[in-house]
Amino acid sequence: GEEVAQTPKHLVRGEGQKAKLYCAPIKGHSYVFWYQQVLKNEFKFLISFQNENVFDETGMPKERFSAKCLPNSPCSLEIQATKLEDSAVYFCASSRRTRNQPQHFGDGTRLSIL
Amino acid sequence: GQQLNQSPQSMFIQEGEDVSMNCTSSSIFNTWLWYKQDPGEGPVLLIALYKAGELTSNGRLTAQFGITRKDSFLNISASIPSDVGIYFCAGRNSGGGADGLTFGKGTHLIIQP
């Protein structure tokens, strides 16, 4: 598609439950990125993929967060044993592989942990 | 980690006024991007800058990539009501690749009637 599509738009989970978010990048884009935006509008980079391969995961809290981009499937971000502090909006972005290409963002998934 | 200092944090202006905001960093970036975010939506790309000293316009918006690679500014001329929103600068070390962006904390633009 022409836009980054994220589902669901809203997700509510009880503390300790699992949360799974999905992202379909723009068709033809080889790079996928996940960001977390917390209440003060601050963006935190989590992880990036080049096709199905992890490129940079320096921002991922590795104990409970995991992500995948498998061929012919939406990319996913999964949080195990959610905590209250995981409440945030999670954005996915994608870009082309060629040089000097900006990242284009989806509209995010708002995750609320109760 | 790298940080971007974006200012001002918020701006209250009258419709028709010009707006200027900037980002500075203690380290070098090779790409600067400016995004606008409306409530409930994702950041929308406004301008992308890839070369030091580059000055680029997009309608009423103008942005520059500082010559030292450590700063960038965004100007909006003759503001209109739909300019309201939060503007973010973002920097990246590389011109390509899958490096993550470092974001500023945003400038909240409010237009008073």
pLDDT in tens, B66-76: 999 999 999 99
- B59's CB contacts (< 8 A; 6+ apart) are none
Q: For residue A67, is pLDDT > 70?
A: yes
Average pLDDT (B82-87) is 96
Distance CA B101, CA A92 (A): 12
* Chain A positions with Cβ closer than 8 Å to B: 4, 31-33, 35, 40-43, 45-46, 48-50, 55-56, 58-59, 91, 93, 95, 97-108
Structure confidence at residue A100 as a pLDDT band (50, 70, 90): confident
The 10 Å Cβ neighbour count of residue A25 is 24
pLDDT at B95 over 60: no
pLDDT exceeds 60 at position B7: yes
**How confident is the model over A11-31, as pLDDT tens digits?**
999 999 999 999 999 999 999
> Three-class SS string for B14-67?
ECCCCEEEEEEECCCCCEEEEEEECCCCCCEEEEEECCCCCEEEECCEEEEECC
Q: DSSP characters for chain A? A: --S-EEE-SEEEE-TT--EEEEEEPPTT--EEEEEEE-TT--EEEEEEEETTEEEE-TT--TTTEEEE--TTS-EEEEESS--GGG-EEEEEEEE-SSSS---EE---EEEEE-
CB proximity under 8 Å: B 20-49 to A = 31, 33, 35, 37, 40-45, 48
User: Which residues lie closer than 8 Å to B92 by C-beta, 6 or more apart?
Assistant: B29, B30, B31, B33, B99, B100, B101, B102
> Would you say A64 and A44 are in contact if contact means Cβ atoms under 8 Å apart?
no
Out of A50, A104, A108, the one facing B45 most closely (by C-beta) is A104
User: Which pLDDT score is estimated for A78?
Assistant: 98
* pLDDT exceeds cutoff 60 at B15: yes
- From the list B4, B99, B10, the residue with the least C-alpha distance to A43 is B4
Give the mean pLDDT of B42-62: 96
B94 closest CA partner among A15, A101, A47, A94? A101
